[in-house]
A and B are shown apart, each in its own frame.
Chain A
Amino acid sequence: MPRIIVEVMPKPEILDPQGKAIVNALPHLGFEEFSAVRQGKRFDLTVDGEVTEEILEQARKAAAEMLSNPVIEDVVDVRVEDQR
């Protein structure tokens, strides 16, 4: 089944408390090289059949209207994953 991948990230100007907690915890496990972490979300939308441009447009609309909140988040990618 083909899948549409939607990736959502907190807006750059919004402090990401979860990412901040993660970056503070990383050195405790010996991971010293990472100066910042931002945590986002990835959605896999499965499509029964071919992904038409119309379906992709629906995914973009869903990403903008439901999967993300434009006040705090940006949709950074909507793409079709290779069919397997």
Chain B
Amino acid sequence: MTETPLIGDFRAEADAPLDGARIGVVTFPGTLDDRDAARAVRLGGGTPVSLWHADASLHGVDAVVLPGGFSYGDYLRAGAISRFAPVMETLIKEAGAAASSGPLPVLGICNGFQVLTEAHLLPGSMIKNDHLKFVCKDQALRVENNSTAWTSQFTDDEIISVPLKNQDGQYVADEETLKALEAEGRVVFRYLGGNPNGSRNDIAGVTNEAGNVVGLMPHPEHAVEAGYGPDDSTGMRSGTDGLTLFTSVISSLAGGSK
């Protein structure tokens, strides 16, 4: 009998059968968390593929992560210059509303979320935290939509803890957009235990209409490995709640759904 590693088994090797999903991680000038995101992809059971901002090709990847950092030093507005990178032109075509059936799953984390809003793949925008300070802490979130490509393996209203670290994290959108997001269940992650940055409706993350594009300000890729995550009930630094985003997308790519 062939030993088949479970999805999420971090011992999975590159040639393991379930390791077929190739997930691109884009590096822009000033991106910081691309290596952590690539590691999260690996720990989630996928094969990370490094994508470069100036290369318009997605190299046939099955999904893309836009990681956190300060691309172009947040010049102009966070994500505003990266949004025009050659890789983004291709990504917008493959992930956006114009894409044919099976649009590309895309996850934007922190600066990646800002890039997705600037690219109009996700509604709203981020402005400076209402208290003007950089925040860095473990943050409790409620997963309110587990039917997206990136959240399918969470339970209904699952409460998770992942690090939050940013300065321009205050999610804003006009009233009409907020109403639509709430009515359509497109708020994917909501802050719990106090709003850390003034975000409208405590919104931490949202999805597009098709559910293939998800963006959030907190950092699931920093909570994927025991010993390096947030504290949880099992011990210090033991939290690995973020890993579920990366296992979810592989499950979604394999045709799994709720």
B76 adjacent to chain A (CB < 8 Å): yes
Contact yes or no, A71 B172, CB < 8 A: yes
Nearest A residue to B77 by beta-carbon distance? Answer: A69
Can you name 19 extra interface pairs (CB under 8 A) apart from A71-B123, A71-B174? Answer: A15-B130, A15-B198, A17-B128, A17-B130, A17-B170, A17-B198, A18-B128, A66-B76, A66-B80, A66-B84, A69-B77, A69-B80, A69-B118, A69-B125, A71-B117, A71-B124, A71-B172, A72-B125, A72-B172
Nearest A residue to B126 by beta-carbon distance? Answer: A72
- How many chain B residues touch A (CB < 8 A): the figure is 20
> Nearest chain A CB to B120's CB is how many angstroms away?
9
Q: Mark A45-82, 1 if CB is under 8 A from B, else 0.
A: 00000000000000000000011010110000000000
- How many chain A residues touch B (CB < 8 A): the figure is 13
Contacts of B172 in A (CB 8 A): 14, 71-72
Contacts of A1 in B (CB 8 A): none
> Nearest chain A CB to B146's CB is how many angstroms away?
27
Contacts of A21 in B (CB 8 A): 132
Residue ranges of B at the interface with A (Cβ–Cβ < 8 Å)? 76-77, 80, 84, 117-118, 123-125, 127-132, 170, 172-174, 198
Nearest B residue to A10 by beta-carbon distance? Answer: B127
> Nearest chain A CB to B170's CB is how many angstroms away?
7
Contacts of A13 in B (CB 8 A): 174
Residue ranges of A at the interface with B (Cβ–Cβ < 8 Å)? 10, 13-18, 21, 66-67, 69, 71-72
Knowing A69-B118, A71-B117, A72-B172, the reply to whether A17 touches B127 (Cβ < 8 A) is yes
Contacts of B129 in A (CB 8 A): 17
24 CB contacts below 8 A, A to B, read A10-B127, A14-B172, A15-B127, A15-B130, A16-B127, A17-B127, A17-B128, A17-B129, A17-B131, A17-B132, A18-B128, A21-B132, A66-B76, A66-B80, A66-B84, A67-B76, A69-B118, A69-B125, A71-B124, A71-B125, A71-B173, A71-B174, A72-B125, A72-B127
> Nearest chain B CB to A30's CB is how many angstroms away?
22
Contacts of A18 in B (CB 8 A): 128, 132
Most buried by B among A13, A15, A72: A72
